[in-house]
């Protein structure tokens, strides 16, 4: 079963919302749209009894049942749902670090482990500047060949990003990687974050 943490405050908040629906046996379904892609989104939806899918995993949260969409389960590993009150009322937060790429085992092939770190840790940070990085290949001596895109292509800070951000993180998370190499054509600065 996927490990999904729902904090007490989130349970209470969701239970209040469910109660307002006035439907006996109403639950909540958690699922990932476009799982395993950079466009993956983790969602919560009401789940009345007539919409329960037999293949869903069920988690009894005492006040209601949480249904985990069967196809989303590998992408929901380590998902976290929280609710915090604020001046505007409150905020429900869903974090699913494996939604874009399912977690891979320590003994998975090297390209899979590199892609996992790129998707789960590096690209979310680069996305703040409209950028991304992808693995082209792994060559001799475990050098990861990467291609930057979006706001990173042609960006004047890309060499700093490559060495102090991407390479450092990849080498920490995937110790077999000895270095990284950028094969991006940075002469095109049309979408660069820093020019």
Residue 47 among known ligand-binding residues: no
Q: Are 78 and 6 in contact (CB under 8 A)?
A: no
Q: Are 29 and 47 in contact (CB under 8 A)?
A: yes
Residue 43 among known ligand-binding residues: no
How buried is residue 22: exposed, middle or buried, by Cβ count under 10 Å (0-12/13-18/19+)?
Answer: exposed
Measured in degrees and rounded to the nearest 5, phi and psi for residue 146 equal: -120, 155
| Separation between Cα atoms, residue 28 and residue 41, nearest integer Å | 16
**E strand or H helix at 160, and its extent?**
helix 158-160
181: tokens are 């190499």
Specify binding-site residues for [4Fe-4S] cluster: 152, 155
Specify binding-site residues: 152, 155
């Amino acid at each position: 079963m996927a490990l999904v943490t729902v904090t007490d405050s989130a349970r209470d908040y969701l239970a209040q919302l469910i109660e307002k629906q006035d439907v006996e046996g109403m639950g909540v379904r958690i699922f990932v749209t476009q799982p395993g892609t950079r466009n993956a989104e983790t969602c919560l939806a009401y789940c009345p009894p007539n919409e329960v899918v037999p293949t869903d995993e069920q988690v009894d949260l005492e006040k209601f049942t949480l249904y985990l969409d069967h196809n989303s389960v590998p992408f929901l590993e380590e998902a976290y749902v929280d609710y915090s009150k604020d001046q505007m009322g409150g905020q429900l937060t869903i974090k699913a670090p494996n939604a874009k790429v399912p977690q891979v085992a320590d003994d998975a092939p090297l390209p899979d482990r590199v892609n996992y770190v790129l998707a789960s840790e590096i690209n979310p940070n680069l996305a703040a500047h409209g950028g991304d990085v992808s693995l082209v290949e792994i060559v001799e001596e475990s050098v990861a060949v990467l291609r930057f895109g979006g706001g990173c292509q042609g960006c004047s800070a890309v060499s700093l990003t490559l060495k102090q951000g991407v390479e450092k993180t990849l080498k920490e998370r995937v110790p077999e990687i000895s270095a990284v190499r950028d094969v991006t054509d940075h002469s095109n600065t049309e979408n660069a974050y820093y020019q």
